[in-house]
Structure formats: C-alpha cells, structure tokens
Amino acid sequence: MARSSSSSTGSNSRRTPQPLPRQRSAGDFVKAFFALVALLVLLVAVPGALATQLGWPLPTGAPSMDWLQQEITVDTFLNVLTVVVWLAWAQFTACVLVEVKAAVSGVGVPGRVPGAGPSQLLARQLIAALLLVTATAASFAPGLAQLGQSLEGNQKAPSAAAQQTPGTLFGQEQQSAAQTASAIAEQAANANAQAEAGSSTAKDGDTKYYRIQPPEGRHHDSLWEIAERHLGDGRRYKEIYQLNKDREQPDGSRLSEASLIRPGWIMEMPADAHGGDLVEMPDEAPKVSEEVQRQISDYSKSGDHQQGAGRQGGGQQGGGSGSGSVDRDTAHISVPPQRPAEQGQQGDQQAPPQATPAAESDGFSFGLPEALIGAPLLAAGLLGALGRRRRAALWQSAMGAIGGRRGMEPPTPTGPAADAQDALLIGADPEGVRLLDLSLRGLAAALGEQSRPLPTVYAAWLSNGDLHLQLAQPAGKPPTPWQLGQDQTFWMLARADAEQYEDVDTAAPYPGLVSLGTLDDSRLLMNLESVPGIVSLSGTEQDRAAVFASVAAELATNGWSDRMTITLVGFGQDLTPLAPNRLRHLDDIEALIETMEAETRQRRGALGAAGHDSVLTGRTGPAQHTRWAPHLVLLAAEPDADDAIKLAELAADASRLGIGYLVGTESGDLPGAAWQMEITTEGKLLAPLLGLELDAQRLPMEQQRAVVDLFSDADPEPSSDNGPANRPPFLVDVSEQGRPAVYARLVGPYEIIGLETPDGDRSPLMHEALALLLLHREGVHPRVLSSALWPRGVTEDVRDALIERLRTWLGTDPDGAGRLGTDDTGRLTLARTVVSDLDVLRSLYHEATQGRGAGSRQVRGRLLTDALVLVRGPLLADRSAGRYGWLTHEIIDAQLPLLVADIGLALSAFHLERDRAEKAIEALTAALGSAPGDERLWNELLRATHATGDDDRLKRVAADLVARSGARGVPPRTEALLDELLPTWRSAVTAVS
C-alpha cells in the first residue's frame, strides 16, 4: 500500500508519516474558532480602532525647529505610542503571512521575520489551530506538538538531528582534476534540465524514491543538490535525511550522517518531490530494472521497523532537548560504537582548557580574547613561535652587542597585547599539538616501512583526544596501532596509542591541515592541500578576514609541518611578522596569478622528473625533505570573472601538486569552486554540500593587531648600552637596608626563606604558584595561573581557594598590607617585600654595570662577585617532572644562561684589567657551568688562558672545546681566534685527545 510523505522538518519518525485521520474533534473546532477570532481582532480590529479612534499619529508636514522645542504633551505621548502599536501590528501581520504561506505550500520550516520571535510564535500557533480543521493540516500538523516551545527551538530541532555528527565530508575518490570546470558545468546543466523538464506526475498517496547516482568526474551527488533539484530548496535536505536516517540500504549500510551517502543507495522523498529521475512505487516501478525495483521494494518495507526502533531508542529527540538521546550519542565520530566507555574516560581526563568553568566567568573588570582561548592548536602554535622569536632575539642581541648587552629583557606587553598573551597561555594545548605531529609522522613512517603510499586525507577530527583521519577513498587496513573508524574511509588512533609514539625522522605527511572550527567536542582540521580545486569562503568582508587570518596564523606557526609557503592576498593586517620565512604578501590578484602559473609549471616538471604521481608519493621517498613542501594560497579579495576562471584552471591540478587555494567571495558563487563554505555573522561556518555546521575558528582584526604586536616587539632593536632596554622589570634594593621579608631561591634547588612550609599535599602546588608569580612581577591573570597549575582544567572555586591559601601563607607586611594583591587589571601581584634570587641577580648586574658600579671599579667587582655566587645551578633544579610544565612557554631558560654569561664576562674583564688571569679563568669557568654553549665565554676563556702563557693548558682548553662542539664543529669566529692564539691547534688537539 502506498504511503504519503510529510514535508515537515519537525517530524522525528524514521519513515514517512502516516496521513492524519479525517475526523476532527469538537475541541479542534473550538480552537479553530477562537484562533479565527483572535486573528480577526489582531489583523482587522486593532488597525481599525487605531484609525478611527486615534487617527494619523505622524505630523502632516516637515517639523520645524520650533516644533522640536515645544513641551511634550499627553497628545505627543499618545502619538508616539500609536506609532509603536502600528509597527507591532505590521510585524505581526508579516508573521501571519509568512506562516500562512509556509503552511499552504508545505515547504519545510517558515522563514524568520527579523526581531519577531514571540510575534511569529503566536502567529504560528493561531494559524496552526485554524488549519487544524482544513485540508492543509496534514502537512502542518507535525509542528503542533512543539507549540509550547520557543520559535528558535522549533527551527533548530531538525538541524540538530541532521548535523550532530562530523560526517564523511567529502567524496569517495579524487578523479582527474583537469576536467574540473567542464564536469561541474555539465552537472549543473543536467540538473537544470532535469528540474525544468521534470514535472510531478505522482498520484496522491504514492511514495517517491530517488537512487543516488554515481559520481561524474569529481562531482558527487549530495542531499543538498537532491533537495535543490527535486524540492526546489537545498535547505530541505534535512527532510530527506530524516525520512531515511538509520534505514538499511541495499549494500547493508545505513544513513547515519547527512553528508554520508553512496552511489546506489535509495532515498525516500517527501510527497511534493518532482523531477524526471524519481521513481514512484508501485506505479512507475516498470521504468527501472527488476534489480532496482526489488531494492526499492525491500527498502520501502524498512520504514515501519525503523520508526519503531526510533520510538524505542530516542523518541524524544524532536522535543528539543536532544541531549542524551541515542541518536546524539551514537552519531558522533568522537564516540565510535566499538569503544564508547574508553572514549568517555579519555574525554574526562583530557578536558580542553577552554572548556573549564574557570574560563567562563572570573568576576574581574576585563575579559580576555575568547577567540584565542577557544583555539588550542592555534594558540599553541603562536605561543611556541613567539617563544622561539624571543629566544632568537636574545641570542642575536647577545652575539651582536659591542661593549655591552642590548635587550636582555624583552618589553613587557601591555593593553591588548598583554590580554592576547594571557589568552594564548590559557588556550594553548602544546601536548595536543605534539601528539598530533607524532601520530601523523608515525603513520607516514609505518606506511613507508610497508612500501605503501600515503592515502589522500581530506580532513582530520580531534575528538576527546582521539584522532580520526578522513580519507578521500578507502585505503585498506591502517598500520598498527591505527584502526578503521566508522567506515572504510576513516582511520582512527586513540590518544593512549598516540602517547606511545616516539620521534621519527620522516617528513610531515599532511602539513596543509588547518583548524576550521568545532562541532560539539570535535575539532575539524581541513587539509587545504588535498582539496580537488578551490575552496570558496563567502560572508561579509570582516567575517571572512577573521577566518582567513586564523587559517594563515595557524598554518604559519603550527607544529605538525616542516616547511611551506603561504601566499596572502587582500589581507588588511600584515601577518608577516608571525613567520617571515613562511608568509609572504602579494599586492594584487594579477601578481598572484603570474606567480602561481610559474609555480604550477615548476612543480609539474619536478614531479615528472622524479617519476611521482603526486606530492604524497614524493614525501615518502628519498626526496622527502627537499621538494614537496606545500604552497597554500589565501586570497581574501574576491576575483573578477576572468581571474576566477584563471584560478580555477590553475587549481584543477593543484591537489596533486601540493597547492591549495582558499578564495573569498561575497556571493558564494565562484567558478571552479570544489568546496563552498560560508561564514555567518554569528560565527557559524556552514558548508551544506559537505554536511558541516561548525563554530568557526576566527582571529578578529583587533586580536590580529595584538598578536602581531607581540611578535614585532619580540624583535631586537638597537639601543644604547645604558638605555632603558637593559633595565630589569623589577629592581631590588641590594643594600643592607633592603633585606626582604620573603626570599625565594629559584636559581638552583628551590628554597623559601621567611615562610613556614605549608602542611599537607598542597605544599608543592603552592610552591609552584609562588614560583610563577615570582617570574612574572608584572602580574599573573588568575585564569593564566589556573591553566598553568591545572592544564587539564579546574573549576573556579578550586582556583579561588588556592589563591586565598596563598594570601594566608604569604601573610602581610608590618603596615598591614597583604603580600599578594590584585592590580587594576585584575592580575595577581606580589609585594616588593617578596623577592627571589633571580630578582637579586638581575639587580646586582644592573647596579654593577649601570648603577654605582659604573663609576667605581671596586664596587663593580664586589657586585659582580656577589652575583656570580648566587648561581647554584639551573632554574628550579629539583622540580618534579610532573609539574612546572608552563616553563616550556617561558624564555627564562634562555635569559638565565645569558645573564650568567654576561656576569661572567664582566667579571673576567674586571680581573683581566689588573692582569689577574687566574681569577678571570675562575669566573669564566663558573659561568660556563650554567651557560656551557655560550661561544663568548669560550672565546674569553681562550684569551684568559693564553694570557697565562701556558701553551699546554691552552691546548687542553682547545681540545675540550672541540669535543663539546661535536659534529657541528667549532664556530667560525672561535676557529679564527684559535688560529690567532694557537696556530697549531688542529694537530695539538689531536695529540691531546
């Protein structure tokens, strides 16, 4: 018996809804009567009363200045109120018209009238009650069960069921890219011809079916396009999904995600579907083969069974909650059916820092950039790159200084830059980046050992610590410890297995992976390098720029790639300071096309000469470290028609060559675009054809400026020897009168003088918190403190309890002021009476070289000697291996050796002025204990040893230096110095060793 299909998106059944009974109850007629009365009153009586009783409220002529200066009377107030009522009536009337049109036409969920949430909900209720006794009620009634819910809830419920899961985003295989433009044009022409020629010949009550077509070129059938061709609106793909969800297909699999459809599958269609390639059962069954007829017949019988299963497992999903339903839990990639319990445990253990309650509300007067806090991979890349930049600046300043140090202390960020740095510290997930890199390189190494090629990866999902790779097509069984995921196109690696990987010497296999956003607990990384054509991004210019900046910043600083070139065109903010070796800006699209034409020709030739079919093959061969770095083009400015065609031609073969294109567009209609995405003003990243609706990862303009300022300020700038660049951020009174109340020894084993050791297991945590505060005298944001001490997350009450214990432990000064305070920005600061030996060390060196010691040789010698005595070893030498992970984000590990080296050099020069070579050697040897790799110390040690006149001793020092240099060899300047001081050093070193 034929069944009719409902077009309502609000239905939760797994099959086509049965027709509503024709009988109407007395209550239905009563509701309809009162609904009609209410509509007449609101639509007719209200405007009639306004027109007859109050009249026209607006002035008949243009107001003058005298009119504006008149006193506001009761009539004026009534006129203003009348205008407001007229506007409310007009808005409600528009809502009624929209709801009536949707109910009569049966085209899914009605459109939204801007700003009319309650009004449109009331209109929907009245129209539904009125139409309940009419012929159109059959198509509208499924929404009646939700009349008590909000308008927004009614609209979002269908999409929640259709898009909960990161589905198989992309096609099953990548065809010849050279035919891209013609294949897309031909497919569009066929679709238009079918839509125009097809007309609905279905009889009322017959059920229509559609059979998924095989791909043409690189174009694959999708629910969006099916809905667009046969329902007139691509957004109605959710209705098709709901009708067919979880029903068994001819190949034995089931539709579990809106984007995961395969050729040969059967789709039951809504009743108003039309088009020449639809099949009606049973009337039009003879138009298809017996095999297809049998498949459709078998498929039609699965509806009743599926509806029963849906009621048993998750019948409440359509009600709006959806949380905890069977559909939601079993649909996620992050919770594969074969290991739900283990996934849940890992999710509890590895909660991302940005998801902690402490990250949501702090009670302080200012906030931090949530876009950076919510982007752990981007934040980790930026923080790591910033640390490397600051370390490099320190070494450049040290090695390039003449007669004095420049830039020992990088400038302390303030304002937006300080907030951006705090956000990076809170949001960064360096461990996640490390595991992602190890996993990808380990996979490449394992495949290389098996002489298997790298599969083409379209995307990666990070879900509760697990990594899911989405392949372009099935590639067989993955190497151990990888496993097959939810189907043959997913390879999955559990976090516990990833932690067992070790570093391998292999090229990064997928450097083009970049974060786009999140769906629930899953983070999507798209492989821009593998896209078979252009990826287009539509939306407003400001929203597009924020997405482009995020993509560019992560590609430039990520930790899972070796080398790449990122070409930027049309960016408002120059991002080059983030990674000058990777990022480059071009002025316009013309320069881009000229550059990419040459690049494309060069890569094609290189691949042909190497005998490789793609860059993936090259990355696993002998040339893996030399040739196959990706080139990713980010074009934020929309190209004109001619330029768009040229880019499409260049991109036709791009994925094979390791070139990716992300192009912005206002309209979303870009020739040759293989994948289309849209960024909304609400921060949603939509890709209907790919089945995506993500919370987009963005880097807005103000945060771009703040991040760029951090990197620009990290670069060394020339300054005078006595300039402010040498001044430490916190100076201590090093005289006898400056004795601190609390003294912490950090350089070497950690000791605290002036405080009793806290009792219990909290002592290590409180010591670590105090060390963090001592290393940041400018202040520490409470969220930075909590993310440093509890990198896996912590609740706000636990963090606040620790801060209060710190206040109590540190106590107060004699004047009653607390030693742990809060500044105007909400950051935690220490009183000047709480001092560390690192503060004293910096202050002694500053005083010796720029203070009292600058004018007194005797004072300088005493201060430098006192400073060198303070050095008892590396920073926090006895710290626990499980703590102080935040030190990896600091540059103190580079600052301290340079500071000790400066002190040793200054004290050596002090002694050599009086020909005390032995004293100079003693000072240099002590400094080398903390800075063994500082070339300046070795050079001065060679000079001081030469000053003793003991050639044998000089030979031993040279031999020790050569041995320490290892395979890198002696640095050029040191080699030149040895040639000067000991011309026979090469043979002498061999004889000594």
Which has more pLDDT, 684 or 141?
684
pLDDT in tens, 933-955: 888 999 999 999 999 999 899 99
State yes or no: pLDDT of 533 exceeds 70: yes
Q: Which residues pair with 471 in a beta bridge?
A: 457
Determine the average pLDDT of the residues in 887-898: 89
| Torsion (CA) 698, 699, 700, 705 in degrees, nearest 10 | 180
The answer, yes or no, to whether residue 634 has pLDDT greater than 90, is yes
pLDDT tens track for 563-590 = 889 999 987 668 989 998 899 999 889 9
Exposure string of 348-362, with b = 16+ CB inside 10 Å and e = fewer, is eebbbbbebebbeeb
Alpha-carbon gap, residue 326 to 340, rounded angstroms: 12
Q: Answer whether the bond into residue 340 is a cis peptide, omega within 30°.
A: no
| Residue 789 confidence (pLDDT) above 60 | yes
pLDDT at position 10 is: 36
Higher-confidence position of 471 and 966: 471
Please give the pLDDT value at position 363.
37
d(CA 775, CA 787): 16
Instruction: Indicate if the pLDDT at residue 804 is higher than 70.
Output: yes
The answer to whether 510 and 628 have CB atoms below 8 angstroms apart is no
Average pLDDT, the chain: 77
Most confident of the ranges 212-226, 338-352, 485-499 = 485-499
- Between 933 and 276, residue with greater pLDDT: 933
Residue 966: exposure state from Cβ atoms within 10 A (0-12, 13-18, ≥19) = exposed
Residues 282-289: what's their mean pLDDT?
A: 59
DSSP state of 660: E
Separation CA 214–CA 263 (nearest Å)? 5
Strand 534-538 to strand 751-753: parallel, antiparallel, or no bridges (unpaired)?
unpaired
Region of residue 678 (phi > 0: left; psi between -120 and 50: alpha; otherwise: beta): beta
CA distances, 149 to each of 152, 156, 331 (Å): 8, 11, 25
**Distance between CA 953 and CA 945 in Å, rounded?**
7
- Considering only the C-alpha atoms of the chain, give the largest distance between any 2 of them, rounded to a whole number of Å: 118
Residue 852 has pLDDT above 50, yes or no: yes
What does the DSSP assignment read for 281-338? ETTTGGGS-HHHHHHHHHHHTHHHHHHHHHHHHHTTGGGS--TT-HHHHHH-TTS-TT
pLDDT at 212: 85
**Spatial contact of 808 and 815, defined as CB atoms under 8 Å apart:** no
Which among 547, 633, 548, 550 has a CA at the least distance from the CA of 594?
633
User: Which range, of 209-218, 477-486, 979-988, averages the lowest pLDDT?
Assistant: 209-218
Q: Which residue has the higher pLDDT, 262 or 349?
A: 262
Asked, as a colleague might, if the bond just before 282 is cis with ω within 30 of 0, I would say yes
Q: What is the DSSP string of 513-556?
A: EEEEEEETTEEEEEEGGG-SSEEEEES-HHHHHHHHHHHHHHHH
How far apart, in whole angstroms, are the C-alpha atoms of residue 674 and residue 730? Answer: 56
Give the 3-state DSSP-derived string for 381-396, with helices as H, strands as E and coil as C.
HHHHHHHHHHHHHHHH
pLDDT reported for residue 31 = 75
The string of DSSP codes covering 457-515 is EEEEEEETTEEEEEESS---SPPTT-EE-SSTTEEEE-HHHHTT----S---S-TTEEE
pLDDT at 96: 85
Among residues 819, 244, 321, 567, the alpha carbon closest in space to that of 253 is found at: 244
Question: Which residues partner with 633 through β-bridges?
Answer: 567, 661
Distance CA 680, CA 684 (A): 5
Position 105 scores a pLDDT of: 53
Bridge-based pairing state of the strands 466-471 and 457-463: antiparallel
Collapsed DSSP state (helix, strand, coil) of residue 661: strand
- 896 vs 616, residue with greater confidence: 896
Question: Does residue 686 contact residue 692 with C-beta atoms inside 8 Å?
Answer: yes
The closest alpha carbon to 420, from 777, 703, 713, belongs to: 703
* Most confident option among 10-19, 268-277, 790-799: 790-799
Report the pLDDT value the prediction gives residue 180, as an integer from 0 to 100.
41
pLDDT tens across 114-166, in order? Answer: 777 777 778 777 877 776 555 433 333 233 223 233 333 333 333 333 333 34
Cα angle: 31, vertex 36, 42; to 5 degrees: 125
Residue 523 has pLDDT above 70, yes or no: yes
> Helix or strand or coil: residue 579?
coil
Of 836, 848, 864, nearest in space to 924 by CA: 864
Task: Give the residue with greater pLDDT, 220 vs 607.
Answer: 607
pLDDT tops 70 at residue 201? no
Q: Phi and psi for 207 in degrees, rounded to 5?
A: -105, 135
Element (H, E) at 695: strand 692-696
Proportion of the chain above pLDDT 90, given as a percent: 36
Radius of gyration of the chain (CA): 35
> So what's the pLDDT on residue 322?
31
CB 536 within 8 A of CB 670: yes
212 or 287, greater pLDDT:
212
526 and 458 Cβ atoms separated by less than 8 Å: yes
pLDDT tens-digit map of 742-785:
999 999 999 999 999 887 788 999 999 999 999 999 999 999 99
Secondary structure of 336-374 as H, E, C letters? CCCCHHHHHHHHHHCCCHHHCHHHCCCCCCCCCCHHHHC
**pTM (2 decimals)?**
0.66
Task: Say whether pLDDT at 379 is over 50.
Answer: yes
CA distances 6 to 221, 244, 270, Å, are 23, 13, 6
Closest CA to 165 of 487, 506, 582, 435: 487
Interval 883-901 mean pLDDT: 90
110 DSSP 8-state letter: P
Cα angle 256, 252, 261; round to 5 = 40
- Identify the pLDDT of residue 513: 95
Q: How far is CA 366 from CA 416, 564, 719, 828, in A?
A: 11, 38, 34, 14
374 φ/ψ sector (left φ>0, alpha ψ -120 to 50, else beta): alpha
Query: What is the structure's pLDDT at 776?
Result: 94
- Category of 36 on φ-ψ map: left (φ > 0), alpha (ψ -120 to 50) or beta: alpha
Alpha helices in 111-222 (DSSP H): 117-131, 137-140, 151-162, 180-197
Token pair belonging to 422: 């705090």
Closest by alpha carbon to 553, among 566, 535, 534, 539?
566
Measure the CA–CA gap between 17 and 4, rounded to whole angstroms: 7
pLDDT at 15 exceeding the cut of 70: no
Is 640 within 8 Å of 630 (Cβ atoms)?
no
pLDDT on residue 65: 61
Distances (CA, A) of 896 to 908, 927, 978: 18, 11, 28
8 Å CB contact between 677 and 535:
yes
Q: What's 944's DSSP letter?
A: H
What percent of the chain stands above pLDDT 70? Answer: 74
Looking at residue 400, its pLDDT comes to: 63
Over residues 812-836, the mean pLDDT reads 93
Task: Return the pLDDT at 391.
Answer: 86
pLDDT band at 993 (very low <50, low <70, confident <90, very high): low
